[in-house]
Amino acid sequence: MKNYTVLSGKEVSEYVYSQLKIRVELLKNKNIQPGLAAILVGDNPASKIYIKMKTKKFHEMGLKTETFRMPIDVGQNQLLKLIKKINNDANFHGILVQLPLPEQIDSKTIINSILPSKDVDGFHPENAGLLSIGTPRFVPCTPKGIMRMLEYYDIDLNGKHVVVLGRSNIVGRPISILTSLKSEGANSTTTICHSGSVNIEKFTKNADIIIAALGVPNFLKKNMVKQGVIIIDVGINRIDDNSEKGYKLVGDAYWDEVTQVSKAVTPVPGGVGPMTIAMLIENTIEAAENFQ
């Protein structure tokens, strides 16, 4: 018998979309169609899948989206020129540059060139700064999606110990800020563990909630967590197998093991992934609302 709750990102995202449709209608009544420009450099398979899923969902919601594809050997100045053009285009309220970028391009320079008011990923230093002082404009999509899932399933972090595995600017660092903010649904004691942390188990065994964003397949095992832990698994890792596809997707938590002791856990796929796209759509709608 299953004695844990599956935290479904599909279910939560569908609820989010039903709420967002009302806001889209209000904007349409003012002749505003929220628009996102996505920039894809090269043909990274994971990036292509994400862009394809995002495009499909934008169209379903009646939103405008266009993907600008650039060759893998594109020069930095050429990319900056494109961003400048989209910054000045009133049809696009949001800009997303798909990461990672090839090595000849400095990601920081590119992110810094996006207008903060169009930075729906929330990566611009201005938006990162606003988040860090507790007055966010755009919250990065994956961390925002995690907080929305916790809220949907009535998981209150107040007074709890949250352990975040990973310190990236995309997930680890922003989610550590969000969970520890003095606000409703948050207010936790948050610990960040990373590649420089000694004896990670010492922290994970004391965690009420673990947010795993390391990108290491099946890293988190049963012997590393306590009974009744809640696990939010951000990892999406490909592992080769004998199936028709030749691979399967697994998270950073070893599902077969952690589900024996967890109170609740997000599946991979179908957990945090759908929430990331839902929050990108929400941020784009917010950008259009702010624009008017």
CATH of the domain at 211: 3.40.50.720
pLDDT of residue 63: 98
Average per-residue pLDDT for the chain: 96
- Residues 112, 184 within the same domain: no
pLDDT of residue 191: 98
Give 213's pLDDT tier (boundaries 50, 70, 90).
Answer: very high
How many domains does the chain contain in total?
Answer: 2
- Residues 112, 149 within the same domain: no
- Residues 72, 147 within the same domain: no
- Residues 146, 236 within the same domain: yes
Residue 44 has pLDDT above 90, yes or no: no
b/e map 111-126, b = 16+ CB within 10 Å: bebbbbbbbbbbbbee
Mean pLDDT (whole number) for 37-65 = 93
pLDDT of residue 234: 97
Residue 243, domain extent? 141-273
Residue 292 has pLDDT above 70, yes or no: no
- Residues 166, 61 within the same domain: no
Give 46's pLDDT tier (boundaries 50, 70, 90).
Answer: confident
Measured in degrees and rounded to the nearest 5, phi and psi for residue 281 equal -65, -45
Residues identified as active-site: 54, 98, 121
Q: Which of 82, 116, 150 is the last residue of a domain?
A: 116
- Using a pLDDT cut of 70, give the percent of the chain over it: 99
Mean pLDDT (whole number) for 37-55 = 91
Residue 85 sits in a domain whose CATH number is: 3.40.50.10860
Which amino acid is it at 233? D
